[in-house]
Structure formats: C-alpha cells, structure tokens
Amino acid sequence: MSYLPGGTYFESYQADQKWWRTPFIKGKMILMLVLLALLPYLVGSQWLSVVYTINYYILAALGVQLLVGYCGQITLGHAAFVAVGGYTSAMMVLFVPWPEWVVNWGLAYPISIVFAGFAAAIWSVLFGLPSARVKGFYLIMTTMAAQWITVPLVITQYVSQIGGRGQSFSIPDGLIKIGPWVIDSDVKIYYFSMVLVLICLIVMGNLLRSKVGRAWIAIRDNDIAAETMGVNIVAYKLMAFFVAGFFAGIAGSFYISALFFVSPEHYEWFYSLLWVGIILIGGVGSIQGVVFGSIFVVMIFKLLEISVLGASEFLMSSYPEIGWITTKFIFFKESAFGLAIIFFLMYEPNGLSYRYWQIKNYFNLWPFSYTGK
C-alpha cells in the first residue's frame, strides 16, 4: 500500500501568503491571544515580570535576527543600539520642555519611543557603513567597536553626566504614561510589552514578505549573485542596519518603563552575546525562533535562579559548615547559557523553531506520514 502525503494545499499565491491560512490556524491564534490577554489573572506578579522580560528580549533580539538570520550581517554590539534607545527615551521624558498639553495628554513618552527608534537606527547605520566593504570577522570587530564606543565611552562618560545625575537616570512616577494610562504596575507593563511585541512581529513579518525582505535573503544566501541580479547590496545592507537599530531603540525605550531608571550596566557586552545566543537557540532565520529562544533563555535563567536560591537556603540551614559552596553557584547561570548554546550547536543546529516545524508537520500530515520508501 502506498501512502500519499496529507496536508493543506492552496491554489493561489494570496491564499498561501495569508497570516492565518486555515480555520485551524485562525482558531489556534485566537485562543493564544485570549490566553495572553488573561495571563495577568492566571499568574502572580513574579511571573509577570518574567513574561515582560521575555518580551524585552524578543524586541531586542528581533534586530539581531534580521541582521544575522535574514541579511547575513554578523553583529556583536547590538546592546549599544538598545542603550541609545533607552537613553534617548529617558532624556526626552526628563529634559525636553514639553508643552503642557503634551504632558497632560500623555504624549511625551509615546513620542520619545518613536525618536528612540530613529536615534538607534541612525546610530546603527553609522556602524553599519563598513559592511559595504567588509564582511565576516572584520564586520564582527566593527560591531564590537559600536559596543565599546557607545556604552563605556559616550554614554558612561558623557550622556550619563547630563543633569548631574551620576551614572543613572531615575524616572519619577507618573512620567511614563500613554494618554491617560499611567504605566505603574506589572500588569500594565505586561500589556504594554505585548502590544509592542505584536506590532514589531507583524512589521517584521510583512517586511520579510516584501521586495526588501527578498533582497535581504538574497544577500544572505549569495551577495555576489544578488548584486548580479540588480540588488543594490550596499543600500539594502544599510537598510537592514536601520531597521534592526529601530527595533533595538524600541526595546530600549520599553525597558525604561519596566525599571523606571536607566543605567549603563543594563547594556553590557554580555547582552549583545545573549541576544545572538537567543537566535542560535531559537533558530537562525526564523521569526518564531526569536520567540522560542527568548522563552527558553529567560525560563532557564529563572528556573536556575529558583534552584540556586533553594539549594543555598537548604545548605545554610542544614549544613552551615559547607555554606560557602553557595557562593560558587552565582556564576552557574552564565555557564548554563554557554552550555545550552554548545548543546544546540551540536544536537539541534537549526534551533527550536525547526523542531517545532517538524512536530507541526507531523500532525498536519498524520496519518499519512512520510515512510521513506
């Protein structure tokens, strides 16, 4: 008996390119949106902070995915552009003499988000200019230079000193608001982060389905062939840096609403590596990979934190003579992150998104699964 593949087939390009292509997918997405809307009433505030941290990582890693996964431009300094967005938004809220009606209507922070995106995008393009002439290892060094020039030098030594506030800017209560909606609780931060993530994912998805997205993918696959086919690779590379920087600026601007202050320590080089690791774990060249990788990394860190704290309390209360061991657990989170990257590179190089794709296809094709004959 021969088995024929099952599944859903489309007779037009428009039907194939829809966001929700079948009633099952539409029902699944609606159910997911309902669960996300009800999540604050299902979990405690401790886990809400974990969820909006995941959303922050999604926003930050989205630009890394665009550069590395879709345009083939390696970056190891993305935290610098997130820092530019965070500081731009904070300084506009604190120091710009807004008209009274702008403050009363809650428009100062939304305007600062847009300006933060553009400031980070322009800063990203400046460091993306060398991509017109270099690639690979040399481009890595260029993006690392963006990190060292931006955070330790420009922000720490100059920007952070504005207003005599020292290294960090504290944001008073009530300044972070959108219209009449003051963002002053974990629930409001969560909903705000979800709106930003949905908007950015939709924008990213539509960009990739456009002429611009196809040009980025062509450059990633073979830039010489793309140029031969008429693609202006310099312009499209710089456009990729611009869009990636814009997403980074949005991420930085959002994070000040969660912390109510901004400091250079939030943008250390480790975060640039972290966001690259997220797309390696989630899957390079996949929007879903950004989501899966962010969830995986944040949840691993949280579970390790709970385990380490529990082990520390147990040892200190039961065996105080060996309590010194607990100090050695502090660095285990970073070590576990490195081990996770090694594991995925060895055993799941295509990331979690590829595994999800395989599982989804298995159920879509069942019971007519591929037999190998």
| Residue showing tokens 């980070």 | 120
Sign of the alpha-carbon torsion through 28, 30, 31, 32: positive
The total of other beta-carbon atoms located within 10 Å of residue 87's CB is 28
- State how far Cα 91 lies from the chain centre: 23
Report the pLDDT value the prediction gives residue 333, as an integer from 0 to 100.
64
**Which whole number is the average pLDDT over 300-324?**
70
Question: pLDDT tens digits, residue range 219-239?
Answer: 999 988 999 998 999 999 999
Among 245-254, 304-313, 322-331, the range scoring the smallest mean pLDDT is 322-331
Name the nearest CA neighbour of 83 among 172, 148, 15, 129.
148
Is the pLDDT reported for residue 321 higher than 70?
no
Is the pLDDT reported for residue 367 higher than 80?
no
Is the pLDDT reported for residue 91 higher than 80?
yes
Q: Exposed, middle or buried by CB within 10 Å (0-12, 13-18, 19+), for 321? A: exposed
The mean pLDDT of the chain is 85
| Phi, psi (deg, nearest 5) at residue 178 | -120, 105
Sign of the alpha-carbon torsion through 119, 290, 53, 29: positive
| Residue showing tokens 């300094």 | 77
Report the pLDDT value the prediction gives residue 102, as an integer from 0 to 100.
86
Is the pLDDT reported for residue 327 higher than 70?
no
The segment with the largest mean pLDDT, out of 123-137, 147-161, 230-244, is 230-244
Buried (b) or exposed (e) across 46-69, using 16+ Cβ within 10 A? eebeebbbbbbbbbbbbbbbbbbb
**Which whole number is the average pLDDT over 244-248?**
95
**Which whole number is the average pLDDT over 193-216?**
93
Report the pLDDT value the prediction gives residue 26, as an integer from 0 to 100.
84
Q: Which domains does the chain have, with CATH numbers?
A: 43-365 (1.10.3470)
Is the pLDDT reported for residue 309 higher than 70?
no
Report the pLDDT value the prediction gives residue 17, as an integer from 0 to 100.
75
Report the pLDDT value the prediction gives residue 342, as an integer from 0 to 100.
85
The one-letter amino acid at 70: Y
Question: 75 near 242, Cβ under 8 Å?
Answer: no
Label residue 1 by pLDDT band (50, 70, 90). Answer: very low
Is the pLDDT reported for residue 209 higher than 60?
yes
Predicted TM-score (pTM) of this structure:
0.89
Sign of the alpha-carbon torsion through 7, 11, 12, 14: negative
Report the pLDDT value the prediction gives residue 295, as an integer from 0 to 100.
93
Is the pLDDT reported for residue 262 higher than 70?
yes
- Tell me the C-alpha distance between 367 and 53, whole Å: 39
Question: 212 near 231, Cβ under 8 Å?
Answer: no
Strands 177-178 and 261-262: what pairing? unpaired
Q: Exposed, middle or buried by CB within 10 Å (0-12, 13-18, 19+), for 193? A: buried
Pick left, alpha or beta for residue 172 (phi over 0 → left; psi -120 to 50 → alpha; otherwise beta): beta
Report the pLDDT value the prediction gives residue 372, as an integer from 0 to 100.
46
Question: 362 near 369, Cβ under 8 Å?
Answer: yes
3-class state of residue 80 by DSSP: helix
**Which whole number is the average pLDDT over 83-100?**
90
Label residue 3 by pLDDT band (50, 70, 90). Answer: very low
Report the pLDDT value the prediction gives residue 8, as an integer from 0 to 100.
65
3-class state of residue 181 by DSSP: strand
Tokens representing 183 are 């963002």
| Phi, psi (deg, nearest 5) at residue 254 | -65, -40
> 153: number of CA atoms within 13 Å, CB side?
6
170: which strand partners? 261
Report the pLDDT value the prediction gives residue 325, as an integer from 0 to 100.
61
Label residue 373 by pLDDT band (50, 70, 90). Answer: very low
Label residue 322 by pLDDT band (50, 70, 90). Answer: low
